[in-house]
Structures are given as C-alpha cells and as structure tokens.
Amino acid sequence: MYDIPAPMLAKAVPAVPDGPNYSFEPKWDGFRALVAFDGTDVEIGSRGAKPLTRYFPELVEAFARLLPEPCLVDGEIVVAVGEPGAEKLDWPALSQRIHPAASRVALLSAETPAMFIAFDLLARGDRDLQAEPFATRRAELVNLLHGVPDPVHVTRTTEDAAQARRWLAEFEGAGLDGVVAKALDAPYTPGKRTMLKIKHARTADVVALGYRIHKSGQGVGSLLVGLYDSAGRLRNVGGVAAFSNACRLELVEELAPLVETDASGAAVTGETDRSRFSSAKDTSFVRLRPERVLEVRYDQLEGDRFRHTVQFERWRPDRDARSCTFEQLEAVAAYDLADVLQ
C-alpha cells in the first residue's frame, strides 16, 4: 500500500490570476481525500489525522471495482442532492456521513451516496509522480481514469483565465465555492500552500446577538451574529472569530452594556444547536440585546447560515439592527451539477 502524504494546500488570493502557466479548475466543496489503491485494498486518507475509509463504504467498493491499476489519487469527496437537471452539492448531507455507528454509516451510504472528484495523481503503479510537473500528472490522471464511470469523476480544467472567471460566477449555483489555480510546471508539495484558491468575497451587515467566552476563560472567543427573516425573527447565521488577545478583552468591556441580565442582575446565557462536531464542546453563549450592527466578510450561504466563519470588517453605528435582513444577501442563480461534471 502507498504511504499517504499530507495533501498539497492552497493559499487565498483575491482574483483569478492571469498568465500562461496556470491550469484552473473548480473548487469542490467537500472532504479532501487521498485514495490509495494497491490493486486489492483501498485506504482513504484525509487532510487531518482521521482516515475516511470506514465512513464511505460505497466509495471503497467503487474504487476497488473501477480503478484500473494501483494508484494514489488526490481529490474531493462530495454528496449531491436534487432532481436530475437541478442537482447541487450538499455540505450538510456530506457532514452527516461522519458517524460513529456502523449501522448509520451503512444506511447513509445508501441514502446519500458520495462521489469522488479526482484532480491530481501522485503515483501510478510503482512510479512516484509527485516530482513531476502538474501538466504531466494531469495527463496521467486523465489517461488513468478515462472512461471510469460514476461515482468517480475527473475534474474539469482550463488554461483560459476568462473561462475560470465564468466558472467562479456560474458554478456557485451548483454548490461549488470557488476556483483553484495550479502552476503547470509545479511539483506536488505535501502540506505546502503552493496552489491558489479564489473564493467569493462578499459583505453583509449583521446583528451581534451574543458571544462565547474564549477557551482560555478570558475575553470574547467568538461573536454570534444574526439576520432578521421575513417574519421579523432574528436568526443566528454564524460566528465571527480570530480576534487578537487584546481585542478579545476589549470586546468584553465594549459589549458589557448590551449583555442581557435577569432579575438578579446575572448575565443571561443560551446555547446554540449541537452537532456531532460540537457534541463535546461548550455551546453556551452570553446573550446580547440585538442593537449593535457590524459588517462582516463572507463567502457563501449554506441554507440560512454562513457556510464558513465570517471575518469582522467594521462596526456600523449608522445602521439600525432591524434593517439587517436576509434580503441584503446576494441571490445565487441555480446551476446544474451535471454541467460542472461534464
């Protein structure tokens, strides 16, 4: 069996780069996976320390049946939902696949089967390809997986920056979250940020509705933020984190006048919804009166929540909290996933 290295990573850049030496591809919103196949057995490594093999038995079976020879392939595991002609990636459905119970894993593998999107080839047979330029690895990948059917797919690529910009705009409607640029002459560099990723950058005005105490026990660890829906209800849409040590302590003082208190004067707390990812974590937060507005940067909306942690931009004392509604968010046109996979 191949030794599975750490995956090559990407650093964020603000725009699709120009130049003749780049290959561009869609940025798939799933679980990064390195698939090792020795001709008989399959292992699925992840970006972290946790192997993914046991969680995707349908993919293990498909790899063993479909891969034409021993290989080590880099790619992304995704789950699609929707009717034919209107499919899109679904992060919540994918995240549900990580479950400790074998019976639940088996059930979900049938109810929400995953796909694998291959985008790099690290080894083929007894040849280590990591030192080869990406152009060579890409050609080998296409040759290896040509004609291999669903659930294994090879990602689309283009060397046309204008086409990549169109993909950035269009493919979000199918649940993708950006574009990746790879230098055609670059080797595979495990654990290093040598690829470029271009994601959507948007801003929204949101209401501070609470905060969590930092894990150190001092200062604000994260701000919980919300938006008003069409019925006038304030909905939790995500969190803002990554404050400096000094800023965390300053925020406690700054937000103190907004802390809700009970009859005894004690701060009122609440709890956010738990998931299997937060089951062992403290989900309590200090409630704030919904009066303070801040502007945040975000990339995507997943349902009625921000897909990732958002970044603080600035306070907006000029904005009324009740004006912070979902209507300000950009509507993304639907795009069929099948058109991305072709």
Eight-class DSSP state of 48: S
| pLDDT for position 216 | 85
Per-residue pLDDT of the chain (342 residues; tens, 9 = 90+): 899 999 999 998 889 998 789 999 999 989 999 999 999 999 999 987 689 999 999 999 999 999 999 999 999 999 999 988 889 999 889 989 998 899 999 999 999 999 999 999 999 999 999 999 999 999 999 999 999 999 999 999 999 999 999 999 899 888 888 999 999 999 999 999 999 999 877 888 999 999 998 888 888 989 999 999 999 999 999 999 878 888 889 998 999 999 998 888 777 777 765 444 344 456 788 999 999 999 998 888 877 888 888 889 888 887 889 989 988 887 777 888 888 887
Is residue 227 within 8 Å of residue 235, measured between CB atoms? Answer: yes
pLDDT computed for residue 264 by the predictor: 82
Domain regions of the chain by residue span: 9-200, 202-328
Between the CA atoms of 318, 323, 324 and 330, what dihedral angle is there, to the nearest 10 degrees?
-110
CA distance 75 to 33: 5
**3-state DSSP assignment of residue 220:** strand
From 11, 27, 88, 192, the catalytic residue = 27
Give the integer Cα–Cα distance in Å for 21 and 195.
12
Q: What is the SS3 assignment for 180?
A: strand
Each residue of 251-272: b (16+ CB within 10 Å) or e?
bbeebeebbbeeeeeeeeeeee
CA distance 181 to 27: 9
- pLDDT of res. 282: 60
pTM of the complete model: 0.75
Q: For tokens 């470029």, what's the residue?
A: 196
- Quick one: 202-328 is in which CATH superfamily? Nucleic acid-binding proteins (2.40.50.140)
Place of tokens 């990580």: 98
pLDDT recorded at residue 272: 65
**197 is a catalytic site residue:** no
Q: Give the domain 9-200 fold.
A: D-amino Acid Aminotransferase; Chain A, domain 1 (3.30.470)
